Structure 1
Amino acid sequence: MMAWAHAGYGYGPHMGWGWGWLGWLYPFLFLVLLVLGVYLVARALAPKQENRALEILKERYARGEIDKETFERMKRELA
C-alpha cells in the first residue's frame, strides 16, 4: 500500500493542490467572474439618471410649476 501512495496517486507535487500557479488561477478567475456578475446585476437594477431628469420635469409640469412652453423647451434641451 505504501508503494501505491508513492506512485503519484496522492496529493504530491504533481497531483491535486500542487498545480503551481494554475492552482491559484481557477479560484482567482471564479472570484473575478463573481465580482463582475454582482457589478452587472447592481448596474442593471440601479435607476437610470438620464430618465430621472425627465421625470422631474414632468412632475414640475404636472404640479403647475412651469408652463407648457417651458416644459417643451426644457424637454428638447434634455434630449
Structure 2
Amino acid sequence: MMHWDGGGWAWMAFMPLLWVALIGLVVWAVVRLTHQSGGHGNGPEHRWPQRESPEEILDRRFASGEIDADAYTEARQRLAAHRPRPR
C-alpha cells in the first residue's frame, strides 16, 4: 500500500512566502493610509519638498555663520549677474 504524505514539503515551502506577502500587505496598507490621512494632499506638488533657490541657500549659509559678509556680498553679486532675465 502506498503512503501519501499530503504534500507537506510543498506547504513548508509555501508558508514563509505567504507570511512575507501578508506582512508586506499590512505594511503597505498602513503606509498608504497614514500618508492619505496626513492632510498633505495627493498632488505631485506634495510629493517632493520644495527646493531652495540659490539665494535662499546663500541666505541660510550666511545666517548660520558658514560664510562671512564679504563672501555673502560677492556671491550675491555673482548670482545677480547670472540670473536669467524675464522675457
TM-score where L is the length of structure 1? 0.39
Higher RCO, Cα 8 Å, sep 6+: 2
Q: Normalising to structure 2: TM-score of the pair?
A: 0.36
